[in-house]
Amino acid sequence: MQRFINNPDEVVEDTVKGFVKAHADLVRLASNPRVIAARHAPVDGKVGVITGGGSGHEPAFIGYTGRNMLDAVAVGELFSSPTAKSFLDAAREANGGKGVVCLYGNYAGDNMNVKMAIKLAAKEDITIATVVANDDVCSAGPDEREKRRGVAGEIFMWKCAGALAAEGASLEAVQAVAQRAIDNCRSIGVGLGPCTLPAVGHPNFLIEPGTMEVGIGHHGEPGVRVEPLKPAAEIARDMAKIVLDDHDLAAGTEVAVLVSGLGATPANELYILNDTIEQEITGRGLTIHKTYIGNYFTSLEMVGATLTVMALDAELKRLLDVDVDCPARL
Amino acid sequence: MQQFENASAGDIVLSIADRIIENRAYLSEIDGKIGDGDHGVNMAKGFGMAADRIRGNDMSLATALDTLGTVLMTEIGGSMGPLYGVMFTQFAETIEKSPAIDVRTFSAMLSNGLDGIQSIGSAKVGDKTLLDTLVPAIEAFDAANADGKSFPDALDALVVAAEKGRDSTRDLVAKVGRASRLGERSVGVLDAGATSCALILKALALGAKQKLLMSATAGR
């Protein structure tokens, strides 16, 4: 394992320190060193928009803190949920008196810590509404969508909700638009190589050379099938098919597309995938409004990529197009 | 009546922390087989921090349990921070007004801790989690008590059932948490949470038994 690390147990501390130095114009470290807040937060009379999750997915989650985006983010250990206290402190940093929405992914630890944070926040009259992302198609069947994990679709959810909150919308309205945004998202991941938590020192899981895992999760959760590695066009076709079959969108629907690397995949290969992804999407009569491509939501140094397709309506399209200022490129 | 004093019994929590810290590598190793391998590290970190705050402070059992629960909830994230955090804080709340802990108070403490866990988690017995240790352990304690067994004998029954429950997770398929994504591949390995829960319950029961023995001797 050759990595840029000081002490394996202090990877998150060191990441946060460097992050705050790099983006001091946009973000600050809260009094809780496991909370990143936007420079402008809290804004009086604005619904606070927060999230939180394990580290190792950079630029998610902290990189999406900023203007018209997230007001505060709770930071967990690598691949491990932030504490209830950190979610609570993120809500405090974001609370402008109109309540806070916590928009996070469907993982056991996050669910429990957010639930505890809601109880603690209620004691100080901060209302936290939640939307739980579940866009990862392969993590559970269509009849069990509530069990699916949240992945890169969360970025679209944050962007739409962040933009609406900035317009002064109510807590209910922001929560509703976040829910609609994530309901309109479907994602899939394909893994070609595993990742290693520095403190553990060996890969979390194995992908045999010459094979790939279709439907892999953001922490290496097993996919739906392991098969021999294929040319990019065939992989891209499979990814698009899985996402679009689950989505079942009417021809003519406008969509936003996000292709993210998982950490160790070169940017050019994402373009190679996108060449075919675009054909598959337009081939179904859908119109691509916008494509985001790059490392948006990673899994340490996993080799692989994810595809997210969000169906747009007029409001989601408008909100998605609102300019943002955050450390991640959007 | 068999009971022990709440005051100064906080050292029981120190012995729980010692067992967890001793088993740091073992807990991470079994977690690494089907989870992400950080259970021992995170548990030892949280229990160690709590022990540092308790040691030398002559705490009651209630205060020490609350200290441990609060540290787990505020400093240790993941799944185990909130689950054990809520369990220990509920333990503490149940006994904080009782100067002496008798078998009824101890039973109420255990079941309130379980209620706390079930109020935030979604697991059931058989899902390959710490509940597979905790639920049968509490049932065995209450059953022994209902059968007219002494408090120390009921504590022994609790330990036996906890360890049997822990061992039962070897043959179970994980239904919640990260290991659940492995499905059938999770069979054959102990659940790390069920294993740490057995360590905790055993240290708690042994500590309580020792206090009972001491108060019986003192009363003679």
Q: Which residues of B touch A108 (CB under 8 A)?
A: 79, 121-122, 176-178
pLDDT above 90 covers a percentage of chain A that reads 92
In the residue annotation, A57 being an active-site residue is answered as yes
Residue B173 contacts A, CB cutoff 8 Å:
no
Shortest Cα distance from B5 to chain A (angstroms)? 31
Side-chain half-sphere of A245: how many Cα atoms within 13 Å?
11
Residue B152 contacts A, CB cutoff 8 Å:
no
Determine the pLDDT at residue A8. 86
Residue A95 amino acid letter? N
Of A201-215, A222-236, A256-270, the range with the lowest mean pLDDT is A201-215
Interatomic CA distance for residues B80 and A202, integer angstroms: 22
A 10 A CB-CB count for A168 gives: 13
Give the pLDDT mean for B86-90: 96
Question: Position of tokens 């994402």?
Answer: A270
- Domain extent, residue B124, equals 3-219
Instruction: Say if residues B173 and B184 touch (Cβ distance below 8 Å).
Output: yes
Q: Is the pLDDT of residue A199 over 70?
A: yes
Q: Is the pLDDT of residue A55 over 60?
A: yes
Q: Which residues of A touch B122 (CB under 8 A)?
A: 108, 111
DSSP state of A65: B
Determine the pLDDT at residue B28. 85
- Residue of A179, A174, A151, A152 whose CA lies nearest to A163: A174
In the residue annotation, A40 being an active-site residue is answered as no
Which of B37, B120, B178 shows the shortest C-beta gap to A112? B120
pLDDT above 70 covers a percentage of chain A that reads 100
Determine the pLDDT at residue B184. 78
Determine the pLDDT at residue B1. 67
Strands (DSSP E) contained in chain A are 27-29, 35-38, 48-55, 72-78, 100-105, 128-133, 185-193, 211-214, 225-228, 254-261, 287-294, 303-311
Mean of pLDDT over chain B: 93
Pairing state between β A48-55 and A100-105: parallel
From A89, which residue of chain B is nearest by alpha-carbon distance? B74
Interatomic CA distance for residues A2 and B77, integer angstroms: 27
The residues facing A190 across adjacent strands are A214, A305
Across B160-185, b (16+ Cβ under 10 Å) vs e yields bbbbebbebbeebebbbbbbbbbeee
HEC profile of A207-276: CCCCEEEECCCCCCCCCCEEEECCCHHHHHHHHHHHHHHHHCCCCCCEEEEEEEECECCCHHHHHHHHHH
Provide the edge-to-edge strand list for the sheet that holds A211-214: A225-228, A211-214, A185-193, A303-311, A254-261, A287-294
φ/ψ (deg, to 5) at A228: -60, 145
Residue B220: pLDDT band (50, 70, 90) is low
Residue A83 contacts B, CB cutoff 8 Å:
yes
What is the total count of domains within chain B? 1
More confident residue, B79 or A20: A20
| Contacts (Cβ under 8 Å, ≥6 apart) of A136 | A148, A149, A150, A151, A153, A187, A188, A189, A217, A218
Q: Is the Cβ pair B83, A112 closer than 8 Å? A: yes
Residue B180 amino acid letter? S
Residue A113: pLDDT band (50, 70, 90) is very high
From residue A241, alpha-carbon distances to A116, A183, A265, A324, B108 in Å are 39, 18, 21, 31, 54
Return the CATH fold of A10-183.
Rossmann fold (3.40.50)
**Binding-face residues of A in 90-129 toward B, CB within 8 A:** 108-109, 111-113, 115-116
Residue B42: pLDDT band (50, 70, 90) is confident
Shortest Cα distance from B166 to chain A (angstroms)? 21
Determine the pLDDT at residue B219. 61
Determine the pLDDT at residue A310. 98
Per-residue pLDDT tens for A150-161? 999 999 999 999
Q: Is the pLDDT of residue B73 over 70?
A: yes
Six-digit token pair at B183?
Answer: 């499905």
**Domain A10-183 matches domain A185-320 at the CATH topology level:** no
Residue count (chain A): 330
Residue B120 contacts A, CB cutoff 8 Å:
yes
φ/ψ (deg, to 5) at B35: -115, -150
Q: Is the pLDDT of residue A148 over 70?
A: yes
Residue A70 amino acid letter? L
Give the pLDDT mean for A48-54: 97
Shortest Cα distance from A266 to chain B (angstroms)? 26
The residues facing A306 across adjacent strands are A189, A260
- Residue of A176, A172, A183, A169 whose CA lies nearest to A68: A169
Mean of pLDDT over chain A: 96
Determine the pLDDT at residue A298. 98
Residue A307 amino acid letter? L
Residue boundaries of the structural domains of chain A: 10-183, 185-320
| Contacts (Cβ under 8 Å, ≥6 apart) of A219 | A54, A79, A204, A299, B36, B178
Residue A252 amino acid letter? G
More confident residue, B141 or A80: B141
Determine the pLDDT at residue A16. 98
Q: Is the pLDDT of residue B146 over 70?
A: yes
Residue A139: pLDDT band (50, 70, 90) is very high
Domain A185-320's class? alpha beta
Across B10-37, b (16+ Cβ under 10 Å) vs e yields bbbbbebbebbeebbebbbebbbebbbb
Residue A87: pLDDT band (50, 70, 90) is very high
Six-digit token pair at A223?
Answer: 């996919």
Per-residue pLDDT tens for B170-214? 999 888 776 776 777 788 999 999 999 999 999 999 999 999 999
Six-digit token pair at B139?
Answer: 């049932």
pLDDT above 90 covers a percentage of chain B that reads 76
Six-digit token pair at A49?
Answer: 């928009």
CATH of the domain at B206: 1.25.40.340
Six-digit token pair at A113?
Answer: 């810590």
**ipTM for this model:** 0.78
